[in-house]
Amino acid sequence: MRGVVSLAAALAIPLSTAAGAPFPDRDLILFITFGLIIVTLVGQGLVLPTVVSWLGLAHHAEDEREREHKAELAARSDALAVAQNHLQQLAARGRISPEVLAILQARHEYRVARLSSHASDGLDAASIAADLRAELIAAEREYIYRLLQDGRITDEARRRIERELDLEEASIACKKQGGVEPPL
């Protein structure tokens, strides 16, 4: 869009005056307009990274992402504490059987452990693990497809299995995009 209006205005200049004489300096006006458009587009494109660096905008964005990530981790931690308190209240009232309570506490402890691992600097190991999990899912998909081709499972069974694999891949993708992987 830049320069379109200027170029349209310059091109709207008539070729000749009302008296029939060629419009004075029309070619010069077109040349200057076109040159100015090129200089502003190329000049801004080349100067903008330097200006952003000079203003420190990239550093501000990085700080903002870090603050946002810390706030997200704190919110998740607080939410897990609230859930744990609620679980303890339900257990105290005797509304949960011991087997269900054990399952829910194990899941909760797993989620707390995952959250604390994201708060530390062990993100490289988590990234490697995520890549390996994606590779393992691909291997599972190949095997499931072979089972389908051999007639050992139905298409409906394959779809159910692949739905679980899709959910697992979605959690890996969430993690790779910088978020904390939602626990299953």
Banded model confidence at residue 184, pLDDT cuts 50, 70, 90 = very low
Which two structure tokens, joined as six digits, stand for 130?
């995520």
Other beta carbons within 10 Å of 183:
15
Length of the chain counted residue by residue: 184
Residue 174: closest CA among 139, 138, 132, 127: 127
Which two structure tokens, joined as six digits, stand for 133?
């999990």
How high does pLDDT run on average in the chain? 85
Q: Which is it for the CA torsion 23, 29, 31, 37, positive or negative? A: negative
Banded model confidence at residue 29, pLDDT cuts 50, 70, 90 = very high
Q: Are 58 and 52 in contact (CB under 8 A)?
A: yes
Helix (H/G/I), strand (E/B), else coil: 16:
strand
* Region label for 94, one of left (φ > 0), alpha (ψ between -120 and 50) or beta (otherwise): left
- CA–CA separation, 115 vs 81, rounded Å? 12
Query: 97-156: per-residue pLDDT in tens?
Result: 889 989 998 988 888 887 776 666 545 666 787 888 889 999 999 999 999 999 999 999
Supply the pLDDT for residue 62. 81
